[in-house]
Structure 1
Amino acid sequence: MIEVEHLSKIYASTPAIQDVTFNVEAGEILGFLGPNGAGKTTTMRILAGYLPASSGTARIAGYDVHENSMAVRGKIGYLPETPPLYPEMTVEGFLHFVAGIKGIAAGDRNSKVNSAIARCNLEEKRKILIRKLSKGFRQRVGIAQAIVHDPPAIILDEPTVGLDPRQIIDVRNLIKSLAGDRTIILSTHILPEVSMTCSRVAIINRGSIVAINTPENLMAQLAGGGGYELEINGNPIELQKLLQLLPGVSLVEIADNVEGLPPDRFLIRIVSEAGLEPGRDIAAVTVGAGIGLHEMRRTRATLEDVFLELTTREMGSGEEGVGSRE
């Protein structure tokens, strides 16, 4: 549905994005992650036809974004980080206005607007002025304007920014309900949202894609897999030596200055090799050595671990470009 190949955007001599390549399949939700200035918004603006690329190609529903810009705009819904709303219009009036701009036939506008209002749970707000709505409902109106013409592809730039936890859950559920018959690219800084919403993740850093995979595979492959934490009473150095000999154990360390830990106890952190689970052997060796095992728990890499690993490994090597790449 969305095909991006070797896409670059250069301002003067400063690259905003470089050789960006990825695909999004029909019905898929792709999470688009990166630190501030990494190039997320630049990429989304190019896909939406808002910015021209310096080189490379992007196609949506088979149409080239540069060569068939108007056709592409009929196939996408776009929500920028700041929703493009008219605060003095009612929700219903604004959506009718947008429907007209997007070329929906006059006879179809009522049904399209009513459908968008229903999908975004705005029935009780349809006659309310937009300026009187909470930020959460304004975000819903922003999504409604993006889907009012029933596009097969939707691009959402930070749709949950500034929302409270309840509003975030509501918008997340709304986005998930749009998937299946629509293809969605979702940019967000809230990493748990990605794990709960997206089927795949693309991470961009300093203008280039550094990883693209499912959240589960990224967490398994790029952040050292998982491991275990042991709270013990006994000789931690002796246990460390024993555990390092076990198959499947790649690292054993004794944690320092653990807050809340009783003075006679120690915390042992263990990293296991990818695909292996030596938990049973770890417990057996600990107990067999006569060391008191008060607690043993699994630890797993998070998407935040992956994000930090991929976006900080190059920090300090070279200087950042001048200006924002968002």
Structure 2
Amino acid sequence: MINISNLTKSFSRKIAVNDLSFQVEPGEVLGFLGPNGAGKSTTMKMLTGFISPTSGSASILGFDIRTQRLNAQRQMGYLPEGAPCYGNMTVMGFLDFIAGVRGYRGSERQERVDRAINLLELGGVYRQTIETLSKGFTRRVGLAQAIMHDPKVLILDEPTDGLDPNQKQQVRELIQGFGKSKIVIISTHILEEVSAICSRALIINNGRLLADSTPAELESRCRYHHAVTLQADRPLDLLALAVLPGVAGIEENHAEKSLTVLARPGEVIFPQISALIAAKGWQMKKLDLEQGRLDEVFKRLTQGEMV
């Protein structure tokens, strides 16, 4: 388990992380969210022992990050923001170097390197120097070094930054696989990533914890929760939609020529809308039920509009 209690970090007069407390259990993939400057990277640097907290405590699988730093770090794989690597080394040379630093020797060292290259699909570039790689491949090299020693805890800062859509999907599936047996913490600004792979999400701003819940529960706080979006060949009867039981209002999207019918809190309006469509004989191009929009919840929380 990761246990963080009243963690605080100050830089001169600025408080970057302010009395932060939470726990993470094995089998959880935790999405760590916040706007730029919220304190995400600072928290991760404290968790991994790269900077010391001003006050409070953090432990990794029982090892205190201040007093047992090396033991705590041995439990972790860390992908920092920017994934710093030695640019003049080849991918193979760099990963072999990391395996050596981790203490592997002989055949096990080569097995660890080969496994990391295969998992991150680096076989096509393993002879290239890192400085010649694209941003996406460099990111994958950074992730390869983080998983080299099969750690029990993975702390990943923007793990899919710079990856193309296919690479993102592959890395997300890899992270989901890790999350079945490991503790995984992901700092990201890509909200769809949280919905896709995280079992839990924390939102912070100005160093303070604003929300700690599942992505689905956070989406349910959105005014678009259980909303229905419609698009038809011809204009629809807005009044007939507006007077349906449970309807809170209607938003028109003129650019897409569509309507979004909002539900009152706790109401489900899809059956009534479906029945009206059948009764009116409307021909629909689009009929979507929304679960909510995490980006809207994120915006309202970080702007102080929601508690």
- TM-score w.r.t. the length of structure 1 is 0.82
- In structure 2, give the amino acid aligned to 1:305: E
Match of 2:150 in 1: 150
Q: Secondary structure at the match of 1:300?
A: coil
1:86-140 deviations in Å (ceiling 9; x for gaps): 1111222211212232334566422322222222222343333222322222111
Match of 2:255 in 1: 259
Work out whether residues 34 and 204 of structure 1, in 8 Å CA contact, stay in contact via their aligned partners in 2: yes
Q: State the shift of 1:11 in Å.
A: 1.3
Question: Which residue among 256, 280, 292 is the counterpart of 1:301?
Answer: 292
Match of 1:280 in 2: 271
Q: Secondary structure at the match of 1:226?
A: coil
Distance across 1 between alignment mates of 2:259 and 2:73: 55
- In structure 1, give the amino acid aligned to 2:101: I
Distance across 2 between alignment mates of 1:282 and 1:127: 59
Match of 1:271 in 2: 262
Match of 1:133 in 2: 133
Match of 2:102 in 1: 102
- Residue 312 (structure 1) aligned with residue 282 (structure 2): no
Specify whether residues 106 and 53 from structure 1 end up closer, same or farther in structure 2 by C-alpha distance, changes over 3 A only: farther
Work out whether residues 234 and 292 of structure 1, in 8 Å CA contact, stay in contact via their aligned partners in 2: no
Structure 2: any 5+ residue segments left out of the alignment?
A: none
Work out whether residues 226 and 269 of structure 2, in 8 Å CA contact, stay in contact via their aligned partners in 1: no
CA RMSD of aligned residues (A): 2.7
Q: State the shift of 1:47 in Å.
A: 0.5
Report the count of equivalent residues: 302
- In structure 1, give the amino acid aligned to 2:39: G
Distance across 1 between alignment mates of 2:237 and 2:108: 76
Specify whether residues 193 and 268 from structure 1 end up closer, same or farther in structure 2 by C-alpha distance, changes over 3 A only: closer
Work out whether residues 78 and 154 of structure 1, in 8 Å CA contact, stay in contact via their aligned partners in 2: yes
Work out whether residues 139 and 159 of structure 1, in 8 Å CA contact, stay in contact via their aligned partners in 2: yes
Specify whether residues 114 and 273 from structure 1 end up closer, same or farther in structure 2 by C-alpha distance, changes over 3 A only: same
Specify whether residues 36 and 111 from structure 1 end up closer, same or farther in structure 2 by C-alpha distance, changes over 3 A only: same
Residues 25-44 of structure 1 aligned to structure 2 (within 5 Å): 25-44=25-44
1:53-77 deviations in Å (ceiling 9; x for gaps): 1111111111111111111111111
Q: State the shift of 1:271 in Å.
A: 2.2
Distance across 2 between alignment mates of 1:106 and 1:310: 52
Give the greater-gyration-radius structure (CA).
Answer: 1
Specify whether residues 101 and 158 from structure 1 end up closer, same or farther in structure 2 by C-alpha distance, changes over 3 A only: same
Match of 2:15 in 1: 15
Work out whether residues 91 and 141 of structure 1, in 8 Å CA contact, stay in contact via their aligned partners in 2: yes
Q: State the shift of 1:211 in Å.
A: 1.0
- In structure 1, give the amino acid aligned to 2:294: L
- TM-score w.r.t. the length of structure 2 is 0.87
Structure 1: any 5+ residue segments left out of the alignment?
A: 262-266, 316-326
